[in-house]
Chain A
Amino acid sequence: MNILVCVKQVPDTNEIKIDPVTNTLVRDGVPSIVNPFDGYALEAAARIRDDVPDTKIVVLSMGPQQAENALRECLAIAADKAYLVTDRAFGGSDTLATSYILSKSIAKVEELEGAKFDAVFCGKQAIDGDTAQVGPEIAEHLGYPQVTYALEVKPAADGLHVYREAEDGKEVIGVQLPCLVTFTKPSFDPRFPTIKRKMAARKAQIAQLTAAELTNIDLAHAGLKGSPTRVKRTYVPPRKEAGVVVKEETTEASAQKLYELLNKAHVI
């Protein structure tokens, strides 16, 4: 099987702090990581390769130069080859423009690799944008069927069997190839990189695709120009007014007071 995994390098939003003076995000010193959901997508591809040894895994990322680090991490964990899509002209893209660029890049990579992908795997959402839109939009651009919220996938005679989260449990969905699958957190963690892969990843060549190489892209659909949505403004959410602290002499008295307050507020 040939699998392409889309990954994004994101700031570790667990570590983001707000500057109390300017009330803006402090991004300095926040470590950059591979978007965790993309990590689950990569692990899913690696598990397919565990069962189907001649599976090839290519990772693709659109971002600034430093996104190369994220791609190298992916090579160390499981990927065979990495491509970085990077160009100033792509900056400012919303999800529609981004998915357009990525879908054209996937077509270009297929050309360069001389083989079509059987499946495109993505994380369900990036933890900075949090939109969960790019995956399905890529599927639409490519004309592929999609399955979202996948936990696990297994290759099958007629395509893939996808175990996905449903409202009251799990579902198994059969989907034909080629397809796109977006992944959420499964019960297992991504594997550790091995020392051999780490050393190879450090030396690996990562191919760069700029607007010059991506001749199949119409720049009118990229960047700000190609983005139907735009950000009017951003703000740090205000902190709510602090409430009442309950502190009586004994724990029992505090519990009693708390109960009374909640009872009066009609919530118990």
Chain B
Amino acid sequence: METKTKDLWVLLETNEDGTAKNVGIELLNPGRRLANKQGGKLISVVIGCHTDAAVQEASTHGADQVIVVDSEEFKRYTTDAYTAALAHVLEKYAPTSMLIGATPNGRDLGPRLSCRLGTGLTADCTALDIDEASGNIEWTRPAFGGNLMAVILCPDHRPQLGTVRPGVFKKPDICEDRAEVIRENFHVPTNQIRTTLLETIREAAGEIVDLEGADIIVSGGRGVGGVEGFKVIRELADVLGATVGASRAAVDEGWITHSHQVGQTGKTVGPKLYIACGISGAIQHLAGMSSSDVIVAINKDFDAPIFGIADYGFVGNLFDIVPALTAEIKKAKA
């Protein structure tokens, strides 16, 4: 595809009520930096239905322009509708590059789109830069379960596409609501949407595990030793208002469900505080939580790799220190 502009686009995924999903706003942060370096505008693309709230959020977080595709068939994400809509606007406006949040929908959409446009996509990026000489985006991402970092280029194909996980970047500061809004009149006939939502099975409210949105996560690993061991983890989480996380080892052992798993094949998290209990720190786990602001590691093995990235460590029995910490916090809050 020949580019027509030097703009940097960011997809803003919306909820069914038309509000913005966080990651699309977060990506306006690196988006601004890249757009400036590219010498173009920062443009947010909103796809959904009744999306005024989302449009405003894009505008008040720094988008120069918001392109809106708003229609009933986009209320819920479907591969066919969103790929068609995004391919349409990308071909029409031909920007240099685009960022997409690596939510489940984003990871469903990104490769479909890149293939349709015959261009390159780099998934799950953890860092974005511009190579000064060529002006190409340098996409940095983990591979081999996080054991290796790769810097990827898409030098000869446009647009350059990349997905970034929620929580890797923080939302930009709020600014004036001054973006230019362009409404695209694009529709996908229902007979071209080849998947149907038949049923939604909500997990009971108490079971929703919000790891990605959590400010504090208390995680248990192999050292927890069993289903009952998680009781002390939950107690600490309760007193901190935290979400309970787990390493793959604990999930594989069946001590806690997969929805709590943090790591390469689980969720990637970036909370303010991550307390790892009885977790050795295998690289796949670190890949999922190393961008936490503060990491506390509790493990009885002082050689455990987790101590290499922890800001604070306690070498000892988690069944001693975790209840003691819970008690200390209760005391302080009283």
Contacts and interface: CB of A to CB of B under 8 A. Distances in A.
Interface of A: 11, 13-14, 16, 18, 25, 94-96, 99, 127-137, 139-141, 145-149, 161, 165-176, 179, 185, 187, 227-237, 239-240, 242-247, 251-252, 254-256, 258-259, 261-263, 265, 267-268
A37 to B, nearest CB: 8
Given A228-B119, A259-B325, A237 B149 contact: yes
Nearest to A10: B144
B92 interface: no
B329 interface: yes
Contacts of B293: 267
A229 B152 contact: yes
Interface residues of B, number: 82
Nearest to A124: B107
B71 to A, nearest CB: 20
Interface stretch (B47-55, B59-67, B176-184, B316-324): B316-324
A18 B198 contact: no
Nearest to B204: A169
Q: For chain B, what secondary structure do more than half of its interface residues adopt (helix, strand, loop), or is it mixed?
A: mixed
27 contacts: A16-B147, A95-B111, A96-B121, A128-B143, A130-B141, A130-B145, A136-B108, A146-B79, A167-B104, A169-B200, A169-B202, A173-B195, A229-B122, A229-B154, A230-B154, A230-B155, A237-B146, A243-B295, A246-B312, A247-B316, A255-B321, A258-B314, A258-B321, A261-B312, A262-B296, A262-B312, A267-B294
Given A127-B145, A169-B202, A262-B296, A96 B195 contact: no
Contacts of A187: 258
Contacts of A234: 143, 148-151
Nearest to B259: A165
B201 A251 contact: no
Contacts of A168: 202-203, 208
Nearest to A227: B120
Contact of B273 (A228, A251, A267): A267
B121 A129 contact: no
B206 to A, nearest CB: 12
A128 B144 contact: yes
A145 B80 contact: yes
A153 to B, nearest CB: 13
B156 interface: yes
Given A132-B107, A146-B112, A231-B151, A174 B145 contact: no
B153 interface: yes
A164 to B, nearest CB: 8
Q: In the complex, which of the residues A136, A167, A240 has the most CB atoms of chain B within 10 Å of its own CB atom?
A: A136
B219 to A, nearest CB: 15
Interface of B: 79-80, 83, 103-104, 107-108, 110-112, 114-116, 118-124, 138, 141-157, 194-203, 208, 216, 240, 258, 264-265, 272-273, 282-284, 290, 293-296, 307-316, 320-321, 324-325, 327-329, 332
A267 B116 contact: no
B316 A25 contact: no
Contacts of B310: 242-243
A258 B325 contact: yes
A139 B112 contact: yes
B104 A165 contact: yes
A239 B308 contact: yes
A235 B309 CA distance: 18
A77 to B, nearest CB: 19
B112 A236 contact: no
Most chain B CB neighbours (cut-off 10 Å) among A18, A128, A130:
A130
Contact of B324 (A18, A25, A254, A262): A254
B185 to A, nearest CB: 25
B121 to A, nearest CB: 6
B153 A13 contact: no
Contact of A136 (B115, B145, B146, B308): B115
Given A136-B108, A246-B312, A99 B115 contact: yes
Given A13-B284, A146-B79, A232-B153, A267 B272 contact: yes
B202 to A, nearest CB: 4
B115 A141 contact: yes
Nearest to A128: B144
Among A139, A172, A229, residue most surrounded by chain B Cβ atoms (within 10 Å) = A229
A262 B273 contact: yes
Contact of A259 (B154, B313, B328): B328
A258 B312 contact: yes
Contact of B124 (A130, A245, A267): A130
Given A96-B114, A185-B265, A251-B316, 8 more contacts: A95-B121, A127-B265, A128-B144, A133-B121, A173-B195, A179-B194, A234-B148, A236-B147
